[in-house]
């Protein structure tokens, strides 16, 4: 099996690459990544010299590059994670999201269609998507695979568009596809523009921890390795043409989550209980901020026997431990351009 994983140098992609490289030594695993600000080969240092792993630097928005790549490597399957992934950046600059998430995905679909030329035996295109395509929930209810799409940010609209293109290529050209829509991930290697790693970084440095609005928005958090395990299960045992929701059964109001995180950090840093909570700072709300996401993963649980392997308390502890043990990683990714991004997003602090 020649397996192409896109976006493998990013947060979730690096955990998926590691899991597949370690679990399937007979697969040739190719990691295609443009190494944007979010891509970091440090995430994969431990697997980079494995004989079944190859890194390919390249951009999915370049259709002719993809065509050559497919001709050269004869990929049997694709797990597609490459994307622009941060909602705030999509509000500040939506076009990169249209280019990568929409055009890049269509380029990959076309590269597969051309390379496989109607002979789809043993072939698969697996698209990794988000629960944000379903929109925003009120106080009750869960997103199921039947929930109508209602994306509300440039990021979620671009991911929704990509999902529609995946299904269109399945229905029109017969391309064998699978999709999954997952809730908020957290864990090691998460880029510190997202809530949990940004808060860990700021608490560590004794800087204000920005909470949007009143901190009442709710997200459903899943440990990143459990998402990688779900992708493995769906890739190998999911049904072609189907969609699977993936979630943590783990809803948290942002403010409650940040308070818990402050307490875990106090314990780890040997600070007085309650010390880090003083850093919590309410800031201007995100434009169009979705109120609540919560996922019903019962299809994945019943059909494929998947369930989260760690509790939130365990996962958060592992995450904090990782960030405190990997100060050099955090320092490297928060130097340079990160500081300009931070100043633009939060003002000089
Ligand atoms: P990330 O931003 O950490 O990583 C994205 C990776 O894609 C980076 O390595 C980047 O270099 C690469 N990339 C970006 N543009 C590219 C291009 N044009 N060509 C090639 N590579 C490119 O993202 P993530 O959080 O790991 O998310 C991965 C995927 O999972 C995305 O598709 C995202 O929509 C989806 N997802 C994320 C979450 C989450 O909570 N982070 C939840 C559900 C779904
Ligand atoms: O639901 C899945 C999605 O989860 C993924 O598709 C996205 O790629 C991923 O970025 C994530 O999106 P969110 O917007 O939910 O994640 P983020 O970490 O940016 O924000 C989580 C919540 O915290 C959200 O309600 C906004 C809030 N927030 C975020 C930041 C960065 C703050 O209050 N302060 C902050 O500084």
CATH of the domain at 74: 3.40.50.720
Say how many Å lie between the CA of residue 218 and the centre of ligand 2: 10
Q: Is 226 in the pocket of ligand 2 (CB under 6 A)?
A: no
Q: Is 100 in the pocket of ligand 1 (CB under 6 A)?
A: yes
Q: Same structural domain for residues 154 and 68?
A: yes
Q: What is the full DSSP assignment across 139-180?
A: SS--B-TTSPP---SHHHHHHHHHHHHHHHHHHHH---EEEE
In a domain, 138, yes or no: yes
In a domain, 121, yes or no: yes
How do residues 121-169 score in pLDDT, each as one tens digit? 999 999 999 999 999 999 999 999 999 999 999 999 999 999 999 999 9
In a domain, 296, yes or no: no
**How many C-beta neighbours within 10 Å does residue 118 have?**
8
Average pLDDT over residues 274-301: 98
Give the residue numbers spanning the domain of 15. Answer: 2-186+221-246
In a domain, 141, yes or no: yes
In a domain, 62, yes or no: yes
**Which ligand is closest to the CA of 208, given by its number?**
2
Q: Which among 59, 46, 38, 58 has a CA at the least distance from the CA of 17? A: 46
What is the distance between the alpha carbons of residues 184 and 293, in angstroms, rounded to a whole number?
Answer: 9
Does residue 349 register a pLDDT over 70?
no
Say how many Å lie between the CA of residue 24 and the centre of ligand 2: 32
Q: Same structural domain for residues 86 and 229?
A: yes
High-pLDDT (> 90) share of the chain, %? 98
What's the confidence (pLDDT) of residue 336?
A: 87
Q: Same structural domain for residues 6 and 151?
A: yes
Q: Is 6 in the pocket of ligand 2 (CB under 6 A)?
A: no
Q: Same structural domain for residues 228 and 337?
A: no
Atom of ligand 2 nearest to the CA of 346: 36
Q: Same structural domain for residues 88 and 204?
A: no
What's the confidence (pLDDT) of residue 124?
A: 98
Q: Is 185 in the pocket of ligand 1 (CB under 6 A)?
A: yes
Catalytic-residue membership of 132: yes
In a domain, 297, yes or no: no
- pTM, full prediction: 0.98
In a domain, 295, yes or no: no
Ligand 1 test: best mutation among 8, 11, 69, most atoms within 8 Å of CB?
A: 11
How do residues 87-115 score in pLDDT, each as one tens digit? 999 999 999 999 999 999 999 999 999 99
Q: Same structural domain for residues 262 and 144?
A: no
The catalytic position among 155, 223, 244, 342 is 155
Q: Same structural domain for residues 200 and 153?
A: no
How do residues 44-61 score in pLDDT, each as one tens digit? 999 999 999 999 999 999
Q: Is 212 in the pocket of ligand 2 (CB under 6 A)?
A: yes
Q: Which helix (H) or strand (E) holds 328?
A: helix 327-333
Any idea what DSSP says for residue 90?
Answer: H
What's the confidence (pLDDT) of residue 119?
A: 96
Q: Same structural domain for residues 161 and 200?
A: no
How do residues 253-265 score in pLDDT, each as one tens digit? 999 999 999 999 9
Catalytic-residue membership of 131: yes
Atom of ligand 2 nearest to the CA of 286: 26
The CATH number given to whatever domain includes residue 331 is 3.90.25.10
How do residues 158-201 score in pLDDT, each as one tens digit? 999 999 999 999 999 999 999 999 999 999 999 999 999 999 99
Q: Same structural domain for residues 175 and 127?
A: yes
What is the distance between the alpha carbons of residues 280 and 256, in angstroms, rounded to a whole number?
Answer: 11
**Which residues, in sequence order, are CB contacts of 346 under 8 Å at separation 6+?**
210, 283
Q: Is 80 in the pocket of ligand 1 (CB under 6 A)?
A: no
Q: Is 192 in the pocket of ligand 1 (CB under 6 A)?
A: no
What's the confidence (pLDDT) of residue 28?
A: 98
What's the confidence (pLDDT) of residue 348?
A: 65
Catalytic-residue membership of 272: no
In a domain, 300, yes or no: no
Atom of ligand 1 nearest to the CA of 59: 19
Give Dmax over CA atoms of the chain in angstroms.
Answer: 64
High-pLDDT (> 70) share of the chain, %? 99
Q: Same structural domain for residues 212 and 226?
A: no
Q: Same structural domain for residues 79 and 121?
A: yes
The catalytic position among 33, 132, 193, 220 is 132
Structurally, the chain folds into a number of domains equal to 2
Q: Same structural domain for residues 64 and 213?
A: no
How do residues 4-38 score in pLDDT, each as one tens digit? 999 999 999 999 999 999 999 999 999 999 999 99
- 331 falls in which pLDDT band (50, 70, 90)? very high
């Amino acid at each position: 099996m020649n397996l192409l994983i896109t976006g493998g140098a990013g947060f979730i992609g690096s955990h998926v690459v590691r899991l597949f490289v370690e679990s399937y030594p007979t697969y040739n695993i190719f990691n295609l990544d443009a190494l944007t600000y979010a891509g970091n080969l440090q995430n994969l240092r431990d697997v980079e010299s494995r004989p079944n792993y190859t890194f390919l630097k390249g951009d999915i928005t370049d259709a002719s590059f993809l065509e050559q790549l497919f001709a050269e490597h004869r990929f049997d399957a694709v797990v597609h994670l490459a994307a622009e992934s941060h909602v705030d950046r999509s509000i500040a600059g939506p076009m990169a999201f249209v280019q990568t998430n929409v055009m890049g995905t269509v380029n990959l679909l076309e590269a597969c269609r051309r390379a496989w030329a109607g002979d789809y035996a043993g072939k698969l295109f697996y698209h990794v998507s988000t629960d944000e395509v379903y929109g925003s929930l009120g106080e009750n209810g869960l997103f199921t695979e039947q929930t109508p799409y209602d994306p509300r940010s440039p990021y979620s609209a671009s991911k929704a568009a990509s999902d529609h293109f995946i299904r269109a290529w399945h229905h029109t050209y017969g391309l064998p596809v699978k999709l999954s829509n997952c809730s908020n991930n957290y864990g090691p290697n998460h880029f510190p523009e997202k809530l949990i790693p940004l808060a860990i970084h700021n608490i560590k440095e004794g800087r204000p921890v920005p909470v949007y609005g009143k901190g009442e928005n709710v997200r459903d958090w899943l440990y990143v390795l459990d998402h990688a395990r779900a992708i493995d299960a769906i890739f190998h045992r999911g049904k072609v043409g189907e969609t699977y929701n993936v979630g943590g059964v783990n809803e948290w109001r942002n403010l409650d989550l940040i308070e818990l995180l402050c307490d875990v950090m106090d314990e780890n840093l040997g600070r007085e209980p309650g010390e880090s909570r003083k850093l919590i700072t309410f800031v201007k709300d995100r434009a169009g901020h979705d109120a609540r996401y919560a996922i019903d993963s019962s299809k994945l649980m019943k059909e494929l026997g998947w369930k989260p392997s760690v509790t939130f308390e365990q996962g958060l502890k592992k995450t904090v431990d990782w960030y405190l043990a990997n100060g050099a990683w955090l320092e490297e990714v928060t130097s340079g351009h990160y500081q300009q991004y931070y100043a633009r997003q939060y003002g000089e602090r």
